[in-house]
Amino acid sequence: MRTICTLTAVAVVFWIAGLACAAESEARRFNTEAELSYVNTSGNSEVTTLSAKSKVTYKFTDKISGRWKFQALNGKSDGQRDAEAYSTELRGDYAPTERFYNYVAANWLTDRFAKIDYRYTYGAGSGYKFLTGPAHFLLAEAGLTYTVEKLIDDSNDEYLGGRLYTEYVYQITKDTKFSQSLEALLDFERMRNYMLNSETALITAINSIFSFKTSYIVKYDNEPARNSDNTDTILAAALVANF
């Protein structure tokens, strides 16, 4: 119950912040997306609980934008904590043309049950929008990363790597869209040390602010921490608010 109350409070804070941003931005430079999900996880955590996400985007100019993302998953069953993961990301984009853009990003992750004490990843790269609608949207990104991580068993690692990302969105109807994304994170020093992240989602608009989203996320780590599963899955049903 405490976890549910905490996550609900976080969602309310994001909702209030989004209202404030929308009211103060005459040019609508701010966009806030808050998501409260009912999730079922498998892999390193076997739990059904709630999770919270937020994404705030700010458009500095027509070509420059910034983004902040936060995600929390924390759950207990029978008095025992069986899921605890947090992540956050800061990203800046510069788009010299309508289709081509460059980005820099920094993110932090901790996942107790995947035995990750912390993981910092810094990256830069470029992207291209191959399809821009109105029904089909497709983009791809490629870049370099530098990762610093510490596992719960006190082992440390730092390495130069790469990132490949693609996302496809199909606007099925005015109010319904399907999306599929795939991300590959590589280690140039040990090529077997790679990670894959996939999200499949269906989003249906309820009104101009709220949407209902169902998603299936797969996170695969080819060389996980000792005694950890290499695959985590998350099945989620979420209420999403956009301001």
Largest CA distance in the chain: 54
Number of Cβ within 10 Å of residue 68's Cβ equals 14
| Residue 1: pLDDT band with limits 50, 70, 90 | very low
User: Would you state the pLDDT for residue 10?
Assistant: 47
In CATH terms, the fold of domain 2-242 is: Porin (2.40.160)
Please name which of 18, 52, 13, 51 lies closest in space to residue 32, comparing C-alpha atoms.
18
Q: How far is CA 202 from CA 18, 141, 172, 219, in A?
A: 23, 22, 10, 18
What does the pLDDT read at residue 79? Answer: 60
Contact 83, 75 (CB under 8 A): yes
pTM: 0.84
Which carries the bigger pLDDT value, residue 75 or residue 167? 167
Q: Provide the 10 A C-beta neighbour count for residue 102.
A: 15
Q: What pLDDT sits at residue 80?
A: 67
Q: Give the pLDDT confidence score for residue 40 in this predicted structure.
A: 86
Express the helix, strand and coil content of the chain in percent, nearest 5 each.
Answer: 10, 65, 20
pLDDT band of 78, cuts 50, 70, 90: low
> Average pLDDT, stretch 119-130?
97
| pLDDT at residue 2 is higher than 50 | no
The single residue listed with the structure tokens 């609508």 is 28
User: What's the mean pLDDT in 218-229?
Assistant: 88
- Average pLDDT, stretch 137-143? 98
- Domain borders along the chain are 2-242
Q: Which has the closest alpha carbon to 57: 48, 49, 45, 66? A: 66
* pLDDT higher at 227 or 218: 218
Which of 183, 99, 184 has the alpha carbon at shortest distance from 137? 99
In the predicted model, what is the mean pLDDT of residues 18-29?
54
State both tokens at 211: 């949407």
Is the pLDDT score of 112 beyond 50?
A: yes
Reported as a pLDDT band with limits 50, 70 and 90, residue 29 is confident
The whole-number pLDDT of residue 3 equals 44
- pLDDT, averaged across the chain: 87
Q: Which residue has the higher pLDDT, 156 or 211?
A: 211
Give 241's pLDDT tier (boundaries 50, 70, 90).
very high
